[in-house]
Structure 1
């Protein structure tokens, strides 16, 4: 399993041994399968990318199609756009085969109305033109009434025919005959199973079509070149719909996946033999196999609601998953699962708090608050304390005290039960077996109002808790209510203390589209402005604050200091939809930007997540140039093929260098039969090795006793090694 991503982010991927290409929003991401690094993005489409396809005649080039009505041809190793074909209609998937040179097949709306829910498969002859932008509006209909699902259409036998599954009908079109055969199924079988087609795959060598169905069955169709004499056999393991099918390149295995989060491998013609890769975290939506059959890639429906994902912002890479719920996921209609709904880190990052909840019909809310301690040895978080039913109703917010010099670690939580609670880390236990644990230190309320959000000041001396339209300020040292702040009518949605020289300010957003700033020294409203702020956050290393405002379906960004009336930076329409989460990530090295518009990025980098699951950030031009150079280096490193011959020569060369530097004695013992060099040579398949004449001298020399003979052969081996790297 290479990747697991949300359906809105990653659609069907393409594997080409060394690279994995995935449609991601409006671009195509190119990943290295060896390092898992994102090498670069292929950008140019203006709407959602709906398909990615390797060009049959050149596997260093790839087609991408989009809802913007264009097909683009890329050199994906260098990230260069070669050509853009303008189709003129939204495109939902793309197909091609080596038998149809210069022709691609697209799924488009069946009528001139681009919003039509009827779809057709059309053939497009790509014009031969030297221009980069080419009109290709002549479409030839191949099949009508097809599915827009990319997994429902596939070529068979290298392009001799194409199979399409839609609803209760399988249709096979033969290009030479120019004839289509249709094979319908009844809606329900005798056992009550639902026969609706979900996906289709064709065997690469045999005339066999595999179809996945809504009831979990897989049918293998044969003899389908006759309308009435066709046959099919049935495989059944999945208890719900089969969402994706894929044959391995040699056709020896069939892969299937569905809502069970299990990748199933069926032996072709020995279907009773199956292999399973379970607990993949979420329902499988797509499966792709590399051309050499060595790698399988699965795409999943969501980001696993029972787990937390740890993601490297610098490397654009998923690091690992942390199982929060620690229960087996059971898919059953009407059965509710525990979901992680809240998470927070403390300032040092060595404590993680999570909230999980489950609401069953006609049952009370199940709620767990868990505290996780970071383990330096395992480089992961370990469960420290579980608090069952920390509140009597849903938790609305929680936050850690981020004071660096605080003697105790504290967590605050607010709930719809009308209370906020402070949780404190107890002192180290007397025995070595008992570690520190968490307990409730204080329970607070205010006039039976419901608290919505909370926030600690930078030094930890104040805790602000909003109760609908009222902001209360408490002292964590004595839990005394210090003051209350009010503003024009409207529930408080967010609270945020100022930092450094602006620490005397407390900012809040309200449901009636107001951004308010209170001066805590005078306990009065300093200023307010009319803004529909969906998210407010502060940079922990500067006085800067960021406000995301959503209007007309887009989000605007304002960066400002509470003490200054003029924003430091503003940008209209930074993304579509709302921003759901954002964070200022401290930099390892401070930037020295001279431009006034980008100085707010010197200490921290702003990352934000949209409602469409797009992770976005702001960078300076210098950072962008550095990232481009790093991406090019990744491509260069990945271009060196790790063949068995390369590994064998590389190990031998490395051993030779160590011998020459270490001043080996003139005599040494012969290599045993189980040595690495001999084992690599004997176990490597002969068809991937060079001729025996090339390997003979090196192999014999590895068995010699005299070190002089080894050194005398080094120029020849130098040539072989250099040649293998070209």
Structure 2
């Protein structure tokens, strides 16, 4: 067996950012959320990913701010640890080892040095009973500390984080589960339980779904499965408690949250509407509708200036005081399943797959960000259970990314299958795809395969269907804006084609008709040969690449992987394997085969010409892997070791049954990413002042001198970089720049210079002279005892600019 100690399976993008409630920092500049095994940090103003906090070895299940330090956060994980982070610099401060899988975490400013976590009542993950315990964090200088001082607070609680909430500045804590509300008072060390009837009337569902406590008063808000909200009062006595009912949601209330001052209550559910209840006037409410998907979590910034909502489509919406949506952080949309294959857009190198209902999403793997959604069905989606609607089931790009083909299906009960084939042309003006041709009922039965010809000489699409035929669709030559039409219909002895594949140069087309593989010439549509194989219908076909282009590989339902030599038209080799997915790397000879065995999936990476696999790994994940793709790398790796060479040009991504997007990484790549993540980052919201420019220039000069001493090769002449001056010009605040007419004339003259390097140096030198003059004027003002802002408009008064200080004369213009 091949050794693979340096290769590990990792989550690289595509994590669920809506898994737990997000956290907004005290200054409302950053948003933190759990994302797989890490914590992601985003900018609330630009929506951009800033960095992540990596260190947990299992799923992160909660993130909360440290009440005693607003620059730190706690995170908990199923790996049994609570970690304290400096989220600004991404530094792990301390790790507290609890020893039990943690499902949620809570903190209170009144309980310093203590965190409250939900853990199983038994020390194993399969336990169905959970308890809320208080963990006393020990004070120690070590980075890893065992926190063994645990005290139980509530037993038999829900592991859902929205089922527990602190009230009245930490005096009590409320927890809900099923039909029961339990309130524990810390001073009395006593708990009260309140139960609701299950409800025998039609449509009545009294089960608790979430809870939120008022921060200032004794009031507990609970959400219920029937859409009602109950406000509980006088719960410090068992018999005299009261509650009032609010009702707007027609479905279950998924989340509740009070604002920091307690003046408003926010609620959300499946309606995709944020409801804003006025606490003192319960009959008055405001709405923020059409947020796109069901609301799963609501969070409010500590100062109350920002709200954010998590949604079921893996999205976080940032809202300014319940009035306007200011930013949207969209992750990889994970719906009920993926019906299309995982495909790579040749233009943007984005991952393309099913997104929102009736849409395709274009997702950047390198930036871990959704680029945009493409509406394929172009019909309003109705959120109603049991309603049959169109779904996108197939998608394919041509080699250049100029054309996109999609197939959408809808099968009504007792009616025939509805199928639409759509061809989309790429529009350079809008940087998106525009519908060109719609073919209604392209086949009489379900389409099983669809591929574009990779040949640059023709634009052709082939579809196979269970109606015993495959069809070739052609765009007329020389008509870039023409429409597609059917050019050829083929079949073989009334057998049903299940799959098809083009050779790398487009000269051959292989179509699998049940147990027979047919090879066709797309130029003349002549049947060249048929290939036999062991019993079992052909499940997948794939041509070899580069030096292995003479091979054709296929998998069958009888657990066979076969390889045919197209030069001799004979079976080269076969092996018994239950291959659920066969994928070829377009940039190398490598192929990946995912095999199902004993309820889990194994991976084998091999070349068709070699009998020994390059890489293998057992038990990748539970269930079958149905979708995978090789994504080309932006920067090629330089690994010389045989066991990692298959990762040099492309990276293999696959989706599990639990909708987790996973990939493989080498130790070298992980070290490079870790080093880059540790670099200090400058926040975009920091004003680019002259002080900042001078300090940044000084730091760059120091780094260049240090590199020149340590690395003699660094002294060689660098290539011209004209963009530095442009960035300084565009990023400098407008109130410290000269007039636009002066800048425009100077900038146009710089563009007319023939040497790009000279123009860059001239512009950069001008910025340096301006900065030098500015600081020389500043130093003169300081020596003379005058204020740097004298002569400029200030909050209290306004004066004219003195002529004695020319360095500041244009600052006040």
The TM-score with structure 2 as length reference comes to: 0.75
CA contact (8 A) 1:63 1:72 kept: yes
Residue by residue over 1:225-251, the C-alpha shift from the partner in whole angstroms, topping out at 9 and shown as x without a partner, is: 344444433333321111122233344
The Cα of 1:152 is off from its aligned counterpart by 1.0
CA contact (8 A) 2:17 2:33 kept: no
Of residues 154-163 and 602-611 in structure 1, the stretch that sits farther from structure 2 once superposed is 602-611
Partner-residue secondary structure (3-state), 2:306: coil
Distance 1:363 1:51 in 2: 47
The Cα of 1:101 is off from its aligned counterpart by 1.0
1:255 and 2:349 correspond: no
CA contact (8 A) 1:110 1:118 kept: yes
The Cα of 1:196 is off from its aligned counterpart by 1.2
| Change over 3 Å in CA distance of 1:138–1:553 after alignment to 2 | farther
Distance 1:285 1:202 in 2: 18
Distance 2:378 2:531 in 1: 42
Q: In the alignment, what sits opposite 2:156?
A: 145
CA contact (8 A) 1:419 1:443 kept: yes
The Cα of 1:619 is off from its aligned counterpart by 4.6
Q: In the alignment, what sits opposite 2:387?
A: 335
Distance 1:12 1:663 in 2: 48
Distance 1:216 1:696 in 2: 61
Distance 2:89 2:252 in 1: 39
Of residues 116-125 and 613-622 in structure 1, the stretch that sits farther from structure 2 once superposed is 613-622
Partner-residue secondary structure (3-state), 1:638: coil
The Cα of 1:128 is off from its aligned counterpart by 2.4
The Cα of 1:99 is off from its aligned counterpart by 0.7
Q: In the alignment, what sits opposite 2:589?
A: 543
Q: In the alignment, what sits opposite 2:502?
A: 456
Q: In the alignment, what sits opposite 1:323?
A: 375
| Change over 3 Å in CA distance of 1:543–1:112 after alignment to 2 | closer
The Cα of 1:710 is off from its aligned counterpart by 6.6
Q: In the alignment, what sits opposite 2:709?
A: none
1:355 and 2:371 correspond: no
| Change over 3 Å in CA distance of 1:185–1:641 after alignment to 2 | farther
| Change over 3 Å in CA distance of 1:34–1:576 after alignment to 2 | farther
Q: Superposed, which structure 2 residues align to 1:209-220 within 5 Å?
A: 209-220=220-231
Partner-residue secondary structure (3-state), 1:246: strand
1:412 and 2:462 correspond: yes
Distance 2:732 2:38 in 1: 43
1:27 and 2:27 correspond: no
1:612 and 2:650 correspond: no
CA contact (8 A) 1:9 1:25 kept: no
CA contact (8 A) 2:119 2:133 kept: yes
Distance 1:586 1:269 in 2: 58
The Cα of 1:98 is off from its aligned counterpart by 0.8
CA contact (8 A) 1:287 1:299 kept: no
Distance 1:716 1:659 in 2: 10
Q: In the alignment, what sits opposite 2:450?
A: 398
CA contact (8 A) 2:592 2:605 kept: yes
| Change over 3 Å in CA distance of 1:695–1:152 after alignment to 2 | farther
Q: In the alignment, what sits opposite 1:656?
A: 736
Q: 1:14 aligns with which of 23, 38, 46?
A: 23
Q: 2:72 aligns with which of 43, 61, 64?
A: 61
The Cα of 1:161 is off from its aligned counterpart by 1.4
Partner-residue secondary structure (3-state), 2:409: strand
Of residues 462-471 and 533-542 in structure 1, the stretch that sits farther from structure 2 once superposed is 533-542
Partner-residue secondary structure (3-state), 1:370: strand
Q: In the alignment, what sits opposite 1:674?
A: none
The Cα of 1:504 is off from its aligned counterpart by 1.7
Q: 2:420 aligns with which of 368, 373, 389?
A: 368
CA contact (8 A) 1:12 1:299 kept: no
The Cα of 1:621 is off from its aligned counterpart by 5.7
Q: 1:278 aligns with which of 290, 293, 297?
A: 290
CA contact (8 A) 2:118 2:132 kept: yes
1:423 and 2:473 correspond: yes
The Cα of 1:165 is off from its aligned counterpart by 1.6
Of residues 118-127 and 651-660 in structure 1, the stretch that sits farther from structure 2 once superposed is 651-660
Q: In the alignment, what sits opposite 1:699?
A: 793
| Change over 3 Å in CA distance of 1:348–1:560 after alignment to 2 | same
CA contact (8 A) 2:66 2:73 kept: yes
Distance 1:336 1:320 in 2: 26
| Change over 3 Å in CA distance of 1:126–1:338 after alignment to 2 | same
| Change over 3 Å in CA distance of 1:388–1:256 after alignment to 2 | farther
Partner-residue secondary structure (3-state), 2:310: strand
Q: Superposed, which structure 2 residues align to 1:361-510 within 5 Å?
A: 361-403=413-455, 405-407=456-458, 409-426=459-476, 435-510=481-556
CA contact (8 A) 1:37 1:315 kept: no
The Cα of 1:214 is off from its aligned counterpart by 0.8
Of residues 420-429 and 522-531 in structure 1, the stretch that sits farther from structure 2 once superposed is 420-429
Distance 2:638 2:811 in 1: 51
Residue by residue over 1:459-483, the C-alpha shift from the partner in whole angstroms, topping out at 9 and shown as x without a partner, is: 2222111122221222222323222
The Cα of 1:100 is off from its aligned counterpart by 0.7
Q: In the alignment, what sits opposite 2:325?
A: none
Distance 2:477 2:425 in 1: 14
| Change over 3 Å in CA distance of 1:23–1:458 after alignment to 2 | same
| Change over 3 Å in CA distance of 1:708–1:447 after alignment to 2 | farther
1:182 and 2:233 correspond: no
The TM-score with structure 1 as length reference comes to: 0.83
Q: 2:681 aligns with which of 619, 632, 636?
A: 636
Of residues 216-225 and 316-325 in structure 1, the stretch that sits farther from structure 2 once superposed is 216-225
Distance 1:715 1:103 in 2: 56
Distance 2:263 2:377 in 1: 38
Of residues 136-145 and 699-708 in structure 1, the stretch that sits farther from structure 2 once superposed is 699-708
The Cα of 1:590 is off from its aligned counterpart by 4.6
Residue by residue over 1:168-191, the C-alpha shift from the partner in whole angstroms, topping out at 9 and shown as x without a partner, is: 222222222223233322222767
CA contact (8 A) 1:261 1:279 kept: yes
The Cα of 1:506 is off from its aligned counterpart by 0.8
User: How many residue pairs are counted as aligned between the two chains?
Assistant: 677
Distance 1:696 1:204 in 2: 47
Distance 1:239 1:573 in 2: 43
Which structure exhibits the higher relative contact order, with contacts defined as CA atoms closer than 8 Å and separated by 6 or more residues? 2
Distance 1:175 1:598 in 2: 57
Of residues 19-28 and 338-347 in structure 1, the stretch that sits farther from structure 2 once superposed is 19-28
User: Unaligned regions of 5+ residues in structure 2, if any?
Assistant: 1-12, 314-333, 336-355, 693-729, 746-786
CA contact (8 A) 2:16 2:36 kept: no
Q: In the alignment, what sits opposite 1:238?
A: 249
User: Unaligned regions of 5+ residues in structure 1, if any?
Assistant: 666-692, 718-726
Q: 2:607 aligns with which of 561, 580, 600?
A: 561
Q: In the alignment, what sits opposite 1:346?
A: 398
The Cα of 1:121 is off from its aligned counterpart by 1.6
| Change over 3 Å in CA distance of 1:179–1:696 after alignment to 2 | farther
Q: In the alignment, what sits opposite 1:74?
A: 85
Distance 1:694 1:222 in 2: 58
1:288 and 2:340 correspond: no
Partner-residue secondary structure (3-state), 1:341: strand
